[in-house]
Amino acid sequence: METIYLNKWNLAAYQVLASTNVMSLGCFDGLHRGHVKVIQSALQEARERRVTLSVMSFYPHPKTVIGGKTCFHYLMPQSEKEKRLRELGVDIFYLVEFDKDFAGLSPQAFVQEYLIKLGVIHAVAGYDFSYGSRGAGNMKTLKQDSDDRIDVTTVGKVEYNGEKISSTRIRQQLLEGNVEVLSNLIGHPYEIKCVCTGSIFTPYSNYTLPAPGRYEVTLKNKRNSIRTEVDVNEYCVMLTSKKQIPSWLEGSITIVWIRQMRAESDQTGELFYEFTTKESSA
């Protein structure tokens, strides 16, 4: 898979190099089950037409530019997104620099410059995807904005427990500590990569830690794994004091989040932890 970091300065050069393709559009933070359905739908269209499959995503997240959010809880760094997109069969990954100039493009200008001139003949996105200044363009207007040069597939809502699966919902569950629900939303347990120093794990950038508390997790590297308990604060993850530190637990480590534990007290007032079994209704 080729990754192309696209901005207003190099756009014209990549327009010249572009070949015919089916493009999947979205931010794709976390690559949850809804995102995967969009990309798989685009892959099917690309195979039927025997053309390249491309994905277009945007960074930084539009909410940080349009909404002015200075702190945004990303679910995965770009390197992990690229790895997962490659596994899904994507040929070209366009990562567009989202700035105020890009946000101010008219819907027609976006379609002309970032789709038609990049060789897109079929666009696939979720039903709530929008584009152009103030999100004025959507999946219902895309065909018209392209003067019928681009076919459109709109992927409907993907739900769990009657509610839409979204990156926002996943962030909410993480920030509430409900990691046991995430497999149903993402399609697998939430994972983060960390640097381990002693018993302290410092996450790489663009991951979101779950709410402070104690969790059952799997720690793994390329050769080993261990199921254990960790404590989370605002900035890092620590092995619980009663756990011994394996000799291999240094360097780059992946934490697989399994479930949160809740604090209880016995008759002596001593705190102990039990696994939570509740499932969030969100």
Q: What are the boundaries of each domain within the chain?
A: 2-157, 179-275
* Domains 2-157 and 179-275 alike in fold: no
pLDDT digits (tens, 9 = 90+) for 208-235: 999 999 999 999 998 899 999 999 988 8
Residue keyed to tokens 């979204």: 166
| Dihedral sign from CA coordinates of 118, 123, 124, 130 | positive
Q: Are 43 and 1 in contact (CB under 8 A)?
A: no
Q: Which CATH architecture has domain 2-157?
A: 3-Layer(aba) Sandwich (3.40)
| Long-range contacts, stretch 98-103, CB < 8 angstroms, 24+ apart | 98/58, 98/59, 98/60, 98/61, 98/62, 98/65, 99/65, 100/65, 101/8, 102/8, 102/58, 103/62, 103/65, 103/66, 103/133
Full-model pTM? 0.88
Q: CA 57 to CA 222: how far, in whole Å?
A: 29
Calculate what percentage of the chain has a pLDDT beyond 90: 79
Query: Between residues 199 and 67, which one has the greater pLDDT?
Result: 199
Q: How far apart are CA 35 and CA 236, in angstroms?
A: 28
The one-character DSSP state at 32 is -
pLDDT at site 80: 94
Q: Mark out the alpha helices in 94-231 (DSSP H runs).
A: 100-103, 107-110, 142-145, 167-175, 182-186
Please say whether the beta carbons of 166 and 186 come within 8 A.
no
Given this model, what pLDDT does residue 265 score? 44
CATH T-level assignment (fold) for domain 179-275: Elongation Factor Tu (Ef-tu); domain 3 (2.40.30)
Average pLDDT over residues 174-189: 96
Alpha-carbon gap, residue 247 to 101, rounded angstroms: 51
Categorize the per-residue pLDDT at 249 as very low, low, confident or very high, splitting at 50, 70 and 90: confident
**Mean of all residue pLDDT scores within the chain:** 90
